């Protein structure tokens, strides 16, 4: 079977998205904590963000006309690929310090890998995005690698 990914796709490895800067609020931590069924008071009271709170904090706030018909936002970091149906992937995270209300955090996202595999029901394309989250003064908070697959 011919390879789906061509040189022009692979040339995007190393590409960076514009920096995102977000202010952490107690209200947003509380909403996230309730919605995820937390039981520890430090999360429910908004004193500290739960393990995947940064996923919500840095999810793209897109305008309605930027959503595809299936309701997904187009990730500008990822090039147009030969497969387009998004399936959930996985995350690998290192924690350097907790996220707390009042933090001003900066996220830098880089496309760090792009490859294909043959799945049991057809070809799959995988991509890896590395996101580093730091304080405004440059102290590391989180390093996260996300792998997503398309079918």
Partner 1 sequence: MPKLSDLTVGTTLPGRSYKPDNVQLFLYNAALWNAHRIHFDHPYATQVEGYPGLVIAGPLIGEWLAQCVVEWLGEDGQLTSFEYSNRKAAIIGETLRSGGTVSAVDAQRREVTIDLHVRNESDEVVAPGKATVRFG
3-state helix, strand, coil in the chain (%, to 5): 15, 40, 45
Tokens of 32: 């996230």
Q: Minimum Å distance from CB 9 to partner 1?
A: 23
Reading phi first (left if > 0) and then psi (alpha if -120 to 50, else beta), residue 57 is in: alpha
| C-alpha separations of 98 from 26, 79, 124 in Å | 14, 33, 35
Of 3 and 67, which CB lies nearer to partner 1 in the complex structure?
67
Cα–Cα distance, 68 to 31 (Å, whole number): 26
Q: Minimum Å distance from CB 2 to partner 1?
A: 27
Given a contact cutoff of 8 angstroms between Cβ atoms, the answer to whether 113 and 126 are in contact is yes
Q: Minimum Å distance from CB 7 to partner 1?
A: 29
Of 95 and 113, which CB lies nearer to partner 1 in the complex structure?
95
Of 111 and 149, which CB lies nearer to partner 1 in the complex structure?
149
Q: Minimum Å distance from CB 70 to partner 1?
A: 5
Q: Which residues sit at the interface with partner 1, rule CB under 8 A?
A: 28, 31-32, 34-40, 50-52, 55-56, 59-62, 67, 70-73, 86-95, 98, 147
Of 11 and 67, which CB lies nearer to partner 1 in the complex structure?
67
Tokens of 143: 């390093």
């Amino acid at each position: 079977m011919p390879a789906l990914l061509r040189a022009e796709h692979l040339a995007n490895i190393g590409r960076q998205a514009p920096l995102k800067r977000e202010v952490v609020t107690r209200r947003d931590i509380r909403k996230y904590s309730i919605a995820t069924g937390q039981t520890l008071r430090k999360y429910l009271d908004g004193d500290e963000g739960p393990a995947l709170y940064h996923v919500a904090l840095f999810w793209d706030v897109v305008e309605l006309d930027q959503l595809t018909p299936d309701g997904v936002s187009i990730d500008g970091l990822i090039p147009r690929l030969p497969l387009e149906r998004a399936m959930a992937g996985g995350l690998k995270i290192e924690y350097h310090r907790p996220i707390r209300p009042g933090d001003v955090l900066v996220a830098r996202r880089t496309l760090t890998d792009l490859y294909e595999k043959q799945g049991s029901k057809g070809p799959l394309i995988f991509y890896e995005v590395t996101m580093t989250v730091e304080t405004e003064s440059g102290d590391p908070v989180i390093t996260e690698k996300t792998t997503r697959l398309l079918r």
